[in-house]
Amino acid sequence: MARINTNPKLVAIFIIYFFMTSHVFTHGAQQQVPCLFFFGASLTDNGNNNMLNTVLKSNYPPYGIDFFAGPTGRFSNGRNTPDFITQLLGFNNSIPPFATATGSAIAKGVNYASAGAGILDDTSRALGDRISMNRQLSNHQTTISGMSSLLGPSTQVQDYLNKCLYIVEMGSNDYVNNYIQPQNYPETASLTPDQFAALLIQQYTTQLNALYTGGARKVAIYGVPPVGCIPQVRAMFPANASGCVDYVNKYTQLFNRRLKPLVDNLNANLPGAKFIYINMSGILISIIASIGASVFGTPCCAVSSAGVCVPNQAPCKNRDLYVFFDNYHTTEIIDRLVAARVYISILTTHYPSEIKNLDQQ
């Protein structure tokens, strides 16, 4: 494995970012919302795939090498972005995965995310089982039913859920593990990139409306990050001079550009709705550009053909200098920076309002 250039400028950048964001994570904020729900894929998953029949698992070393509980099902060397966001919002503990959430714990929220999940049910089927967005919504209905025994009548549950925050991270796998692999997903191969983006938005609109019907009012929707830059995609296709597979990023931008109008329509047509769009592509590109392109050229761990870490092999030692831990997923330090950007909006990447303002409404 190639070694990262540890030049003084690069180290200084990390030190600056650390001090710029560390106060946010250590000030002991009061809990800002009664509960927090995560929907998404592997960047958000914290254990839901552990018992599934899939190659997309991370409940073994070297995952969790820097996490106090060891390997838990987080696709990271340590904490992931939801862990940091949860801390920023003042929660004492991370939000549990649906697979293990029981009893009164669900009143604080549930994480439904599943590695490989997509807006489309068939996304990632070549890799095994996964909990699609539609299945995650079904699991959320189970949680809502369980809340009735804790909070009382359904009207009280709805009032409670109206005050909670929902974070939705979907769409990446629909490209990486569907559209750009026509040999495995012939049903979408005949669609133009614009038609495919329109299909995703059509399905996503129905799903987000269902989330609203279930009680969600404050919802943050992530845009798709620049997946043409992840090692797995760069191993599949020739990279451009940018270091990324540019046409894949152009595909995802067709989807991202439709998210702002979708947010506008939801807010205009659903009473009390406060949906926001988070420009994850802009956040990640700015972070990667700040720390130097050489950092994201190689994953920290040895990876299998599926792009996840080979079990029980030692990862790189200087993990704070790597963007990617495996061929898909970022390291803890990047997740920390992303969470800080998402929360305090270091750059103007949120539309139409910041998460911290959303929480206080």
Give the helix ranges, DSSP H, for 152-215: 154-162, 172-174, 186-189, 193-213
| Residues in contact with 102: Cβ distance below 8 Å, sequence separation at least 6, in sequence order | none
Tokens found for residue 193: 């990139």
Q: Give the 3-state secondary structure of residue 97.
A: strand
List the Cα angle 170/173/174 in 5-degree steps.
85
Q: Residue with structure tokens 């000030």?
A: 27
Residue 267 is predicted with a pLDDT of 95
Is residue 326 flagged as an active site residue? Answer: yes
Tokens found for residue 131: 């909990």
Q: pLDDT per residue over 56-83, tens digit each?
A: 999 999 999 999 999 999 999 999 999 9
Residue 349 is predicted with a pLDDT of 35
Provide the 10 A C-beta neighbour count for residue 272. Answer: 9
Q: Given 329, 335, 350, 359, which residue is catalytic? A: 329
Going from the N-terminus, what domains does the chain have, and what CATH number goes with each?
Answer: 8-359 (3.40.50.1110)
Name residues of the chain where pLDDT drops below 50: 1-21, 23-24, 26-27, 293, 345-350
Residue 354 is predicted with a pLDDT of 60
Q: Given 83, 320, 326, 359, which residue is catalytic? A: 326
Q: pLDDT per residue over 249-297, tens digit each?
A: 999 999 999 999 999 999 999 999 999 899 999 888 888 777 654 567 7
Q: Given 42, 124, 132, 172, which residue is catalytic? A: 42
Question: What's this model's pTM, rounded to 2 decimal places?
Answer: 0.91
Is residue 23 flagged as an active site residue? Answer: no
What distances in angstroms separate CA 130 from CA 49, 93, 112, 188, 221, one per listed residue?
7, 25, 11, 19, 20
Residue 29 is predicted with a pLDDT of 63
Cα–Cα distance for residue pair 180/252, rounded to 1 Å? 11
Among positive and negative, which fits the CA dihedral 265, 270, 271, 273? negative
For the chain, first and last CA: distance in Å?
48
Residue 101 is predicted with a pLDDT of 96
Tokens found for residue 161: 């859920």
